[in-house]
């Protein structure tokens, strides 16, 4: 039997890598881990995992077919665990960056039920920002 420890990485295909880098680095606090221009790949560190940004015009992006658009996305959403989860500070920070956010709701995640907020990145991908599990 395999033991799953968490999400290692996810891959977002995009027509505008620099725009997504600005969002994930400047707004959400990721860091650039590694860039591989020959493949059209930029890898961002998101805590213990990675978010891979693949340019649609690079070799990896071209191999994947059509990119994200208004009719469909390559992903429903993914969740980034936020610590600490200071609701007011998060909303202030997102507002500074002109990022709309959903109201805080209690949702179930890997650690249990806790607060979460949904935002959209510049390509329209939904990102859940999740706080710690709260006691029942």
Count of structural domains within the chain:
1
pLDDT one-digit tens code per residue, 23-49: 999 999 999 999 999 999 999 999 889
**Is residue 53, in this structure, part of any structural domain at all?**
yes
**Is residue 4, in this structure, part of any structural domain at all?**
no
**Is residue 24, in this structure, part of any structural domain at all?**
yes
Residue 106's domain spans which residues? 9-130
Please report, for the domain that includes residue 101, its CATH number: 3.10.180.10
Rounded to two decimals, the pTM is 0.80
Closest among 131, 53, 47 to 85, alpha carbons compared: 131
Average pLDDT over residues 116-129: 90
115 within 8 A of 108, measured Cβ to Cβ: no
**Is residue 63, in this structure, part of any structural domain at all?**
yes
Residue 6 backbone zone (phi > 0: left; psi -120 to 50: alpha; other: beta): left
**Is residue 88, in this structure, part of any structural domain at all?**
yes
């Amino acid at each position: 039997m395999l033991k799953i420890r968490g999400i290692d990485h996810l891959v977002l295909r995009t027509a505008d890598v620099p725009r997504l880098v600005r969002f994930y680095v400047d707004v959400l606090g990721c860091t650039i881990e590694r860039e591989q221009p020959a493949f059209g790949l930029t890898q961002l560190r998101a805590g213990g995992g990675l978010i891979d940004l693949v340019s649609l015009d690079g070799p990896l992006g071209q191999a994947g077919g059509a990119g994200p658009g208004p009719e469909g996305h390559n992903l429903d959403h993914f969740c980034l665990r936020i610590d600490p989860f200071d609701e007011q500070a998060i909303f202030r920070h997102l507002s500074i960056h002109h990022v709309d956010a959903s109201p805080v709701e209690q949702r179930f995640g890997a650690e249990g039920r806790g607060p979460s907020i949904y935002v959209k990145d510049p390509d329209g991908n939904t990102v859940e920002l999740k706080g710690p599990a709260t006691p029942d």
